[in-house]
Copies of this chain bind each other. A is one copy, B any other.
């Protein structure tokens, strides 16, 4: 495998040529201190605009209770091109019935009017509490304001990245630069998500069998921009592959949201020859194959970087754990084993306590849908960046490694858990985290202050 390297650049979603962004406060939670402009409150409405028609690809929650903006996006992404995205936080516009759907389209209509676009060229995303209709006057004021404030500086990107957050404690952004066909190409991205996190997304929102049927929840939203030139089908293929190895491999609390959305816009301003599909590239000239691989690697890097940021900033999270399963009989087994461990309440509380409790891990493997033979299982730990695995269990037998040494492996803020089932050659990984009292405290909310209650 080729090792791809990318140069970090500033600007996030505004780093690629031809993209501008903004973020404003319009009081979507109706706290009552704003009138469509930022009065020092956290911004809650963001815009992203491409100055030229962009090809678009999307991946969406497979939750059967999909939010109104997800339904709008599934329909409009199928058109293949777009110009702008309007995003609000503070209200998911989910379980809001016909009013919700009308509101989502009205958000696009008003954005199009402000930006002199066709409504069909605008996509919509929302995150926040479920079951409350949007305060449309505030939203309209916010859109008007955001359209007037669009710009392509890192500050503009920061404001947009801030506006999409809910329970997140920090902005999540990345932007990189690389070469394609002799041209300089950039990809930028921003995302949000902190709870109700175990996305299982597909391109149509419908549920393929391979996706987790249990698990997942807080909405994750991700918006990626690039000035690469790439056709719709190639972009969708590349995004599906990137999401499968990033956002669909994370879990905070095993709950899948009604609003999970990833959108990529490619406006071609870099002027490269169109990137082909990675598979189709096998009959293409070597230079085109290299370009397709380079673009895929770059998109993978952006998605994985953002996905990991979500887990690290998960609600109440104190430890980030990479669960690596290998030696499974089938890929489905590997996935089931990794998800069972990554979502076990008892495993996650032991991580919180810094307890290298392999008993709870093998228990979770045993009740997973994966074939497991107790006397073949290895369980070990490694530190980030280290290739050395310290085993607590080998072929089902505790090793002679001391409890103190094992505790040291799980004491840091990040570690990797290695599970070998020794029954085959399939592997899978999940990015997970501990379950803490802070998560419980945050999510129990405060019913005396309904505005404080989360999604």
Residues of A within 8 A of B (CB): 62-66, 92, 94-95, 97, 129-131, 195-196, 200, 213-217, 253-258, 336, 339-340, 344-346, 349-350, 352-355, 357-360, 362-369, 371-375, 393, 396-398, 403, 407, 435-437, 439-441, 443-447, 450, 453, 455
B196 and A363 contact, CB distance less than 8 A: yes
Residue of B at shortest CB range from A371? B64
B444 and A362 contact, CB distance less than 8 A: no
A353 and B446 contact, CB distance less than 8 A: yes
Residue of B at shortest CB range from A65? B366
B215 and A374 contact, CB distance less than 8 A: no
Q: Which residues from chain B contact A367 at a C-beta distance below 8 Å?
A: 62-64, 200, 213-217, 255-256
Q: Which residues from chain B contact A447 at a C-beta distance below 8 Å?
A: 353-355, 403, 407
B444 and A353 contact, CB distance less than 8 A: yes
Q: Bound complex: CA of A200 vs CA of B257, how far in Å?
A: 27
Residue of B at shortest CB range from A349? B443
Could you tell me the distance in whole angstroms from the C-beta of A127 to the nearest C-beta in chain B? 12
The 5 closest A-B pairs by CB, nearest first: A130-B359, A353-B444, A65-B366, A349-B443, A256-B367
The one of B372, B446, B450 in contact with A65, judged by C-beta atoms closer than 8 angstroms, is: B372
B363 and A217 contact, CB distance less than 8 A: yes
Could you tell me the distance in whole angstroms from the C-beta of A225 to the nearest C-beta in chain B? 29
Q: Bound complex: CA of A1 vs CA of B407, how far in Å?
A: 57
B95 and A368 contact, CB distance less than 8 A: no
The one of B345, B366, B435, B453 in contact with A258, judged by C-beta atoms closer than 8 angstroms, is: B366
Q: Bound complex: CA of A440 vs CA of B357, how far in Å?
A: 15
9 contacts between A and B (CB under 8 A): A64-B372, A95-B358, A97-B397, A217-B344, A254-B345, A255-B360, A256-B366, A349-B444, A437-B437
A443 and B63 contact, CB distance less than 8 A: no
Q: Bound complex: CA of A445 vs CA of B437, how far in Å?
A: 13
B437 and A441 contact, CB distance less than 8 A: yes
The one of B95, B336, B349, B362 in contact with A440, judged by C-beta atoms closer than 8 angstroms, is: B349
Q: Which residues from chain B contact A393 at a C-beta distance below 8 Å?
A: 95, 131
Q: Which residues from chain B contact A200 at a C-beta distance below 8 Å?
A: 367
Residue of B at shortest CB range from A351? B444
Given known A-B contacts A214-B369, A346-B195, A396-B97, A363 and B440 have beta carbons under 8 A apart: no
A443 and B346 contact, CB distance less than 8 A: yes
The one of B65, B360, B365 in contact with A374, judged by C-beta atoms closer than 8 angstroms, is: B65
Q: Bound complex: CA of A352 vs CA of B367, how far in Å?
A: 27
Q: Which residues from chain B contact A360 at a C-beta distance below 8 Å?
A: 130, 196, 217, 255, 455
B437 and A359 contact, CB distance less than 8 A: no
Could you tell me the distance in whole angstroms from the C-beta of A220 to the nearest C-beta in chain B? 13
Q: Which residues from chain B contact A349 at a C-beta distance below 8 Å?
A: 439-440, 443-444
B95 and A396 contact, CB distance less than 8 A: yes
Residue of B at shortest CB range from A215? B367
Q: Which residues from chain B contact A450 at a C-beta distance below 8 Å?
A: 403
Could you tell me the distance in whole angstroms from the C-beta of A400 to the nearest C-beta in chain B? 14
Residue of B at shortest CB range from A440? B437
Q: Bound complex: CA of A436 vs CA of B437, how far in Å?
A: 8
Q: Which residues from chain B contact A129 at a C-beta distance below 8 Å?
A: 359
Could you tell me the distance in whole angstroms from the C-beta of A29 to the nearest C-beta in chain B? 15
Q: Bound complex: CA of A336 vs CA of B362, how far in Å?
A: 24
Q: Which residues from chain B contact A352 at a C-beta distance below 8 Å?
A: 440, 444
The one of B63, B97, B339 in contact with A366, judged by C-beta atoms closer than 8 angstroms, is: B63
Q: Bound complex: CA of A339 vs CA of B63, how far in Å?
A: 16
B355 and A444 contact, CB distance less than 8 A: yes
A359 and B217 contact, CB distance less than 8 A: no
Q: Bound complex: CA of A344 vs CA of B255, how far in Å?
A: 7
Could you tell me the distance in whole angstroms from the C-beta of A360 to the nearest C-beta in chain B? 7
Residue of B at shortest CB range from A435? B440
Q: Bound complex: CA of A444 vs CA of B62, how far in Å?
A: 33
Could you tell me the distance in whole angstroms from the C-beta of A77 to the nearest C-beta in chain B? 20
